[in-house]
Amino acid sequence: MSGQVTQPHLDLKAPPPLPGGGLRVMALGGLGEIGRNMAVLEFDGRLLVIDCGVLFPEAEQPGIDLILPDFGVIEHRLDDIDALVLTHGHEDHIGAVPYLLRMRGDIPLVGSRFTLALVAAKLQEHRIKPVTVEVAEEHSQRFGPFDCEFFAVNHSIPDALAVAVKTSAGTLLHTGDFKMDQLPLDGRLTDLGGFARLGREGVDLLLSDSTNAEVPGFVTPERAIGPVLDDVFRGATRRIIVASFASHVHRVQQVLDTALAHGRKVAFVGRSMVRNMGVARDLGLLRVPEGLMVSVDEAATLSPSKVVLMSTGSQGEPMSALGRMASGDHRHVTVAPGDTVVLASSLVPGNETAVYRVINGLARAGANVVHKEVATVHVSGHAPAGELLYLLNATRPGNVMPVHGEWRHLRAHGRLAVQSGVDPERVILAEDGDVVDLKDGTARVVGHLDNRYVYVDGLHVGDVGESSLIERRILGEEGFVAVTVVVDSVNGKVVGGPFVNGRGFTDSPDAFDGVLPLIEDALVRAAADGVADPHQLQQLVRRTVGKWVSDTYRRRPMIVPTVLEV
């Protein structure tokens, strides 16, 4: 590869005002991470938002339920938003919609029929009634100054769309998540012809899915999974549990068809699976033969050889249905020796440890676990390198901005763009918070916006910050030590204690005996020096205990000193 793609700039300042006739892209999520996808386009003083998703927490974010994009960038401009375009119904693209609509409830939500149905079901739980605009492939509609044209794309969920946004500044094409399965189960192909036509008209800036940019070749067709599932079902003598994404209608359809062929009944397990498949069935996207479905309670009364459970939890989520089965905590399902568990999903980067924990828990219970590494029970929903090159060659973009991926994915996609003939200076590697302006046919990074993780913890949004997470990690990894001392309010002399108590630090009852005289000596010296301020005494106790614990145990727990005056 000749030339280098544009490097990220670590010293970027706030962007200047958008020049007249320019189109601005503000990346609020999905760059450098798999999740939290959100891009805000600005033109002529108006805004168009593309996707609004969540990121799921990792181990170093204890207690966090979801991570949202930082709406602070646009919260003072909510009235400027003409629409929120949703490319498809996966959580990393729609999960944050309720939190944005809490700020302005009448933002028009634009998407395909299935996407809007999934969003509506989600918003119902938040007691929000949205304003929706249903669109479909080969459909065009104007929102403010933004002319939007929609294209069919094949993905691991029905009704996914790409969107071309046309303004006088040029044409931006956002692919959403896509692949190019040539034998899709629903017959809905990625519209490569439409992309080629758009390319002839001129694509000035391409924002394209980068998830599988490191993977060579072309995607395996979904149809290849059917025979593998058939073999698994034929060899299973007891109950079969299949876990997949709760929105993967095509995979669920394959499981239903295979269960019917082998004379098994199917029960959905997991709230999101039940909800999403109900929506898909109502819209005619899921074909359910008469008499095939049973409830979980009914399934428990049937012979294990006649049952298939279709479950959530393919990513190792501890509170999902499969996660609770693996830990033995599920109310209705107990995994038994001889059961067959199929994980019909890929590993989302960052989830590997959680998934293998679930696999090991199931194996410990005696289950035969079938997953992607041992059988073709899942194919990715994202285009690998060969298909990304097809798209680049069809659209011939003037500028390319890889999106939806970790840094390794973005950089690999950038290399593909250069290989396809894009000027290296026109390949923009950006990260969350970066601002890219398209002006006179050239795209470049012009600044950076403050862009923090916004954490959802229970019912609270944004209350937990990085400092709180650092404290949680310390508590989780090192425990805490509480020290209480009672002193005379006049002279600062100790009249009670010190009392030392630890949690999550050690089980030994005499672990802190060695530090008690050190605390007493330090307080006696402080009193002799005339130090009686409780705050100063607390800091003295913290330093004394901290040094002793570090020297004695080589550990750094959270130390909570309390000085009471009498």
Where do the H-state alpha helices sit in 424-502? 466-478
Higher pLDDT, 77 or 12: 77
Q: Is pLDDT at 506 greater than 80 in this prediction? A: no
Query: Is residue 476 pLDDT above 60, yes or no?
Result: no
Q: What is the pTM of this model?
A: 0.82
Query: What CA–CA distance (Å, rounded) separates 248 from 90?
Result: 9
Greatest pairwise CA separation for the chain in angstroms: 87
Q: Is 222 helix (H, G, I), strand (E, B) or coil?
A: helix
Q: Are 61 and 469 spatial neighbours (Cβ–Cβ below 8 Å)?
A: yes
Q: Which amino acid is at 453?
A: Y
Does 564 score more than 70 pLDDT?
Answer: yes
Q: How confident is the model at residue 471 (pLDDT cuts 50, 70, 90)?
A: low
On the question of pLDDT at 2 being above 50, the answer is: no
In terms of phi and psi (left: phi > 0; alpha: psi -120 to 50; beta: otherwise), the region of 108 is beta
Average pLDDT over residues 351-359: 78
Q: Assess contact for 5 and 415: CB atoms under 8 A.
A: yes
Q: Indicate if the pLDDT at residue 204 is higher than 90.
A: yes
Look up residue 340 and give its DSSP letter. Answer: E
Q: pLDDT exceeding 70 applies to what percent of the chain?
A: 90
pLDDT at 401: 98
Residue 42 in this model has a pLDDT that exceeds 60: yes
pLDDT in tens, 518-545: 888 888 888 877 777 778 888 888 888 8
> By the 8 A CB rule, do 124 and 246 touch?
no
Average pLDDT over residues 89-95: 94
pLDDT at 485 > cutoff 50: yes
Rounded Cα distance, 333 and 79, in Å: 49
Q: Which of 74-78, 107-111, 496-500 has the lowest mean pLDDT?
A: 496-500
Q: What is the pLDDT of residue 537?
A: 83
**pLDDT at position 335 over 80:** yes
Q: Average pLDDT for residues 549-558, to the nearest whole number?
A: 80
Residue 351 pLDDT > 90, yes or no?
no
Report the pLDDT averaged over residues 145-150.
98
Q: Token digits for 562?
A: 């309390």
Regarding predicted confidence, which is higher, 72 or 328? 72
| Domains annotated on the chain, with CATH | 23-217+380-456 (3.60.15.10), 222-370 (3.40.50.10710), 466-565 (3.10.20.580)
At residue 1, does pLDDT exceed 60? no
Q: Which two tokens stand for residue 396?
A: 């011939």
Could you tell me what percent of the chain has a pLDDT over 90? 59
Residues 363-389 pLDDT 10s: 888 989 888 777 788 888 999 999 999
User: What average pLDDT does this structure show over 447-466?
Assistant: 71
Q: Give the pLDDT band of residue 350 (cuts 50, 70, 90).
A: low
DSSP symbols for 408-429: HHHHHHHHHHHHTT--GGGBB-
Indicate if the pLDDT at residue 56 is higher than 90.
Answer: no
Summarize pLDDT for 390-428 with one digit per residue, the tens.
999 999 999 999 999 999 999 999 999 999 999 999 999
> Which stretches does DSSP call E strand in 95-239?
109-111, 132-134, 139-143, 146-152, 161-167, 170-174, 205-209
The two tokens of residue 490 are: 């006049």
Banded model confidence at residue 10, pLDDT cuts 50, 70, 90 = low
